[in-house]
Amino acid sequence: MKIVKKIAAGLAVIMCVMGSTAMAAGDANVYVNGQKINEDAYIINDRVYVPLRAVGEALGAEVAWDNNTRSAIVEQTEDDVIVSTIATASQSVVTIVGNYKSDYISADAQNYNELYAHGAGVVIKSNGTILTNAHVVEGIQNLTVIFGNGDSYSGSVQYIDKVSDLALVKINKLGLKPMPFAAENSLKVGQTVIAIGTPLSVNHINSASKGIVSGINVNIGQHYLFTQSDVAINGGNSGGPLINTKGELVGINSIKYVGTDVEGMSFSIPVDTVNYVITSFEKYGKVLRPDIGITFTESWESKIGVPTKKGLSVTGSKNPQIQPGDMITHVNYYEVHSIADYNEAIKKSFNGYSVTLTFTRGGVVSVAEITTN
C-alpha cells in the first residue's frame, strides 16, 4: 500500500424460452444471477414454469406457503441480497501474501516496519488466473494465494503493468470459480457497491464493506480515470473487488485518500480499464502505449477539477506537424481536456501504429496523423 493509500440492489432472473408448445421437464434451463437452478423446468405456451421455492432459495429469499389462503409468500430484504451476494462473491476472492525481496523495501515496509506484504485478488479464470494490483505483487517473493476457506497455493506473477496498477497472478489450481464482470459503463452514481478484501491483517480475510458509488470517471491525477465510492477500504484491500449487488466485478480497489479531514473517499480501477489491460496482456504480453514525441499540459481549470472545454496545450514536440503552442482538442476523434482523457482515448482507440490528433493553431483547426514509436 502506498501513500496516497493504494491499497448492491438489483436482481436478475434469466429464463431461457425454447419453444411455444408444452415440453417435458428438464427441457428448459433457469438461471438466477448466473447460477443454474437444479430443478426441473417446464415450458407451456412460451412460459417457463419452475418451483417457486427453488427460485426463492437461489435469491436468498424466504418462501412460505399459507394453506388456509392458498398463498405463496416470498420475502426478501436488502440484507438478504447483500448476505447472499457476499457469500457467493467471496468464493472468488483471495488474499495474496509474500515477502519483500532483499533489494526491494517499499514505502509500506518502511512505514510499518514489516518485511512482508499482503493484499487481495480476484479469480477471473477457472484455470487459476487471478487479478490484483501491481503494487500488491511488485517486489515480493514467495507469493502465496490464500482462499477464504484457508486453502493456499504457491503463485507467480504472470503479467504486471505498473502504469495501470494491475497484474495477473497464476496458481496451479483448476476448477476455480471466476467472478463475473459487470457490463462496461453500467455503474451509476448512488448505486450500492461492496468491497471485499483483507484489510490490515490476514486475520480479516474476506472482510466486506458496503457503500455507494460517489463518482464515475473521476480524475485523481493518475494515468486513467477512476470510480469513486464511500466504501471503507484499508491496507490489504488493494487488488480486491468492488462488486454490485449481482456479485459482478465493477472495479479493483486501489487507492484511498487519507488525512484527519478526509472521510469516505475510495477509488477503484473501473472494469473497462481492467478489460483493456487483460486483453493487452493476452494479446501482446504487455500494454501498448504510443510514444508520439509530444509533451503537453492541462489547463489550470482541468488541473483543479473545473469542467472545461479547453484541450491540452503542446509544450514540446519532436514532430514537425505539431508545434509548441498548439492545442490538442481530440485524440483519435475522442475529445480530451486532461492527461487522463488523453490516456483514456488511447485506451479506447489506439491501433498500435498511429494516433490521429485534432488541434488548433491560430484559430485554425487541423488534423495530423502521428506515426508512433
Rounded distance, CA 281 to CA 283, Å? 6
Q: Which residue type occupies 238? A: S
Inter-residue contact 119 to 198 (CB < 8 Å): yes
Burial 134-145 (b: 16+ CB within 10 A, else e): bbbbbebeebbb
Inter-residue contact 236 to 119 (CB < 8 Å): yes
Enumerate the active-site residues.
135, 165, 238
Rounded distance, CA 238 to CA 248, Å? 18
Segment holding 131, helix H or strand E: strand 129-132
Inter-residue contact 356 to 362 (CB < 8 Å): no
| DSSP class of 92 | G
Rounded distance, CA 17 to CA 191, Å? 30
Dihedral of alpha carbons 284, 372, 164, 347, sign: negative
Is 172 strand, coil or helix? Answer: coil
Residue located via cell numbers 417457463: 48
Residue located via cell numbers 457497491: 193
Degrees to nearest 5, angle at CA 212 with 341 and 183 = 55
Burial 76-99 (b: 16+ CB within 10 A, else e): eeeeebbebbbebbbbbbbbbbbe
Rounded distance, CA 124 to CA 121, Å? 9
Rounded distance, CA 160 to CA 244, Å? 26
Burial 186-220 (b: 16+ CB within 10 A, else e): ebeeebbbbbbbbbeeeeebbbbbbbebbbbbbbb
